[in-house]
DNA sequence: AGGCATTTGTCCGTATGTATT
DNA sequence: TAATACATACGGACAAATGCC
């Protein structure tokens, strides 16, 4: 593992687990951290900047580096979520790996894409896409319904069995692609009759919809999806840090 | 302005506005960019890494740097949102600066905080907080209702007039504090009777709730708020980029 | 399969700038 | 003013991944 990753992991643990650094504590200055970790200033800076981006600490020029005044609840959320943010890129099955996850496939077909789908998947309307509609159950309870489109050229050989377990595992392990990033858009709405029926809700009940475009590490969008979550099971966290002073 | 910010701004414009670099295009290699911009490798790398974080480009070691296969719609969203993500830290009035924004103050009082509020604002239950409930109107239409708590010690002298315009402007311009970051949590639910009445909705209609803790550049949380958005006016975008290979 | 050139990644050292106390 | 601490920028050495021959 890289040095700056290791240092940032260690410092993060000191804040979130070891209780070595508490909210509002000042961290050792960069020079001391250099000595402590036998690293250069750039390496320490890089390690600290990761924690700044994660929302754990802040730095003030001429002053020092400090832990933010975070509540225990926030610390807990962050401990759970820091990996989770990354796990958004590992698919539903991995995200809830500890729980009993099953899928009910409602539709699995190959169709020509609508203009919107073609555009977002960066293909033409003459290409074909898989259309997949799945209900995801956690511990036997339906909680998300996913409508997914993927270019067949990019993800060849997709079978029903993959849908019932994890498409992401197929992409990673069989096709040897890596997922690089994902652009999400979150909205709320009332459940349609179709959604309501499959999530065991009343029509019009509040649901959260995550529109996602996911990219492979070759820059191509390979998945365009709409995940509709039961409102009371949906919880999305994010940290926004000011970059430009 | 810093060199790496300028370079990254220029490259971003080449992608989003000048149409100089298109989706899937390869950018010049770092060495060439060094020559082109008269900058060192580290500076170019830093500029490019900003665009990677923003979700515009990706890099492959031993191969090069490329624009992602983004749709025009995505490019539009990003052009609008790249500033917006940062503007989440400037408050509602700034965010919708082009539109006619008004506020209706429903409650403005000073109360002792509940345990949850005290914890998230990192104060004791013996401190006091402002409690503010405001309806925000865009072009005369109520679209968000905000329930806000702020420690009176941190934000002294807050008056009704500030609530009717912008609290953030007061904090920045009068108290000379800067907002450093904000932790948000997004959920969906059905509107309560109170929410429904004030947003001119039917009770139970879907709404999006943003729970936010905002931090000053001294590390202290100064605002704990719940913003309830009319579902059809709520739209949140985010980019998730895989950091660890 | 092996070797080579290309390209980005990591890490170090150093110098200078800027904000705070 | 001086000391402190983080920020920017440069250059160089070596490592690791990729594509091509």
* Residue A174 resides in a domain: yes
Taking the CA of residue A219 and the nearest CA in chain B, the distance in Å comes to 5
Place of tokens 């981006």: A53
Q: Point out the residue among A68, A121, A215 whose CB comes nearest to the CB of B219.
A: A68
Give the CATH number of the domain where residue B98 resides: 3.40.1410.10
Last residue of a domain, one of B37, B72, B88: B88
Domain boundary among B88, B123, B156: B88
Task: Kindly report, residue by residue over A48-62, the tens digit of the pLDDT.
Answer: 999 999 999 999 999
Q: Report the residue of A41, A115, A129, A188 to disrupt the B interface, i.e. the one with the largest count of B CBs within 10 Å.
A: A188
Is the predicted pLDDT of residue B204 greater than 70, yes or no? yes
Asked whether the beta carbons of B216 and B178 are under 8 A apart, the reply is yes
Looking at residue A143, its pLDDT comes to 93
d(CA B170, CA A226): 40
pTM, entire model: 0.93
Q: How far apart are CA A212 and CA B214, in angstroms?
A: 27
- pLDDT tens figures, B18-45: 999 999 999 999 999 999 999 999 999 9
Clarify whether residues A101 and A75 are in a common domain: no
Whether pLDDT at A97 is above 80 = no
Say if CB A239 and CB B181 are below 8 A apart.
yes
Q: Are residues B8 and B83 in the same domain?
A: yes
Q: Let me know if residue B148 belongs to a domain.
A: yes
Same domain for A97 and A31 = no
pLDDT the model gives residue B90: 67
Question: With pLDDT > 90 as the criterion, what percentage of chain A qualifies?
Answer: 78
- B68 within domain boundaries: yes
Q: Which long-range contacts (CB under 8 A, 24 or more apart) does B91-94 make?
A: B91/B166, B91/B167, B91/B168, B91/B169, B92/B136, B92/B144, B92/B146, B92/B166, B93/B165, B93/B166, B93/B168, B93/B169, B94/B166, B94/B168
Asked if residue B144 and residue B52 are part of one domain, the reply reads: no
For residue B238, is it within any domain?
no
Residue B28: other Cβ atoms inside 10 A: 16
What local confidence, expressed as pLDDT, does residue B101 receive? 83
Cα nearest neighbour of B187 on chain A: A235
Q: Give the mean pLDDT of B157-182.
A: 90
Q: Note whether A33 and A148 are same-domain residues.
A: no
B100 shares a domain with B60: no
Question: According to the model, what pLDDT value does residue A98 have?
Answer: 60
* Close Cβ partners of A111 (under 8 Å, ≥ 6 residues apart): A128, A129, A131
B57-70 pLDDT tens trace: 999 999 999 999 99
pLDDT tens profile A158-187:
999 999 888 988 998 888 888 999 999 999
A111 and A228, same domain (yes or no): yes
Structural domain range at position B117: 92-233
In a domain, B12, yes or no: yes
- Are B206 and A188 a contacting pair at CB < 8 A? yes
pLDDT for A221? 97
CA atoms within 13 A on the CB side of B21: 21
In terms of domains, do B35 and B56 share one? yes
Q: Report the number of distinct structural domains present in chain B.
A: 2
- The nucleotide lying nearest B58 (C-alpha to C1') is C8
B84 in the same domain as B101: no
Residues 6+ apart with CB under 8 A from B108: B130, B131, B132, B133, B160, B163
pLDDT score at B86: 66
Nearest-nucleotide field for A61 (CA, C1'): D6
Instruction: Give strand C nucleotides closer than 7 A to any protein Cβ.
Output: 5-15, 17-21
pLDDT tens digit string along A207-224?
999 999 999 999 999 999
Question: Looking at per-residue confidence, does A101 or A122 come out higher?
Answer: A122
Domain boundary among A58, A88, A118: A88
The pLDDT of residue B112 is above 80: yes
Instruction: Give yes or no: residues A61 and A143 share one domain.
Output: no
Asked whether the predicted pLDDT for residue B244 surpasses 80, the reply is: no
A226 and A153 both lie in a single domain: yes
Contact status, residue A212 vs residue A148, Cβ threshold 8 Å: no
Q: Which of A60, A88, A240 sits opposite B88 (nearest CB)?
A: A240
In A98-117, the residues whose Cβ lies within 8 Å of chain B are 116
- Same structural domain, B23 and B62: yes
């Amino acid at each position: 593992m890289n040095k700056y990753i290791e240092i940032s992991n260690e410092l993060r643990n000191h804040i979130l687990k070891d209780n070595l650094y508490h909210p509002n504590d000042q961290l050792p200055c960069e020079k001391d951290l250099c000595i402590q970790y036998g690293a250069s200033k750039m390496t320490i800076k890089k390690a600290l900047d990761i924690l700044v981006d994660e929302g754990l600490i802040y730095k003030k020029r001429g002053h020092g580096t400090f832990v933010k005044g975070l509540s225990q609840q926030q610390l807990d959320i962050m401990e759970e979520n820091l990996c989770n943010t990354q796990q958004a890129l590992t698919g539903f099955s991995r995200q809830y790996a500890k729980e009993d996850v099953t899928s009910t496939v409602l539709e699995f077909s190959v169709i020509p894409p609508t203009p919107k789908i073609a555009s977002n998947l960066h293909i033409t309307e003459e290409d074909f896409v898989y259309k997949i509609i799945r209900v995801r159950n956690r511990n036997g309870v339906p909680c998300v319904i996913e409508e997914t489109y993927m270019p067949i050229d990019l993800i060849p050989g997709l079978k029903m069995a993959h849908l019932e377990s994890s498409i992401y595992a197929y992409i990673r392990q069989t096709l040897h692609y890596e997922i690089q990033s994902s652009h999400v858009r979150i909205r709320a709405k009332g459940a349609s009759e179709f959604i309501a029926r499959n999530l065991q809700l009343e029509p019009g009940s509040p649901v959260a919809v995550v529109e996602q475009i996911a990219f492979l590490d070759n820059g191509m969008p390979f998945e365009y999806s709409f995940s509709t979550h039961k409102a009371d099971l949906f919880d999305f966290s994010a940290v926004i840090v000011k970059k430009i002073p």
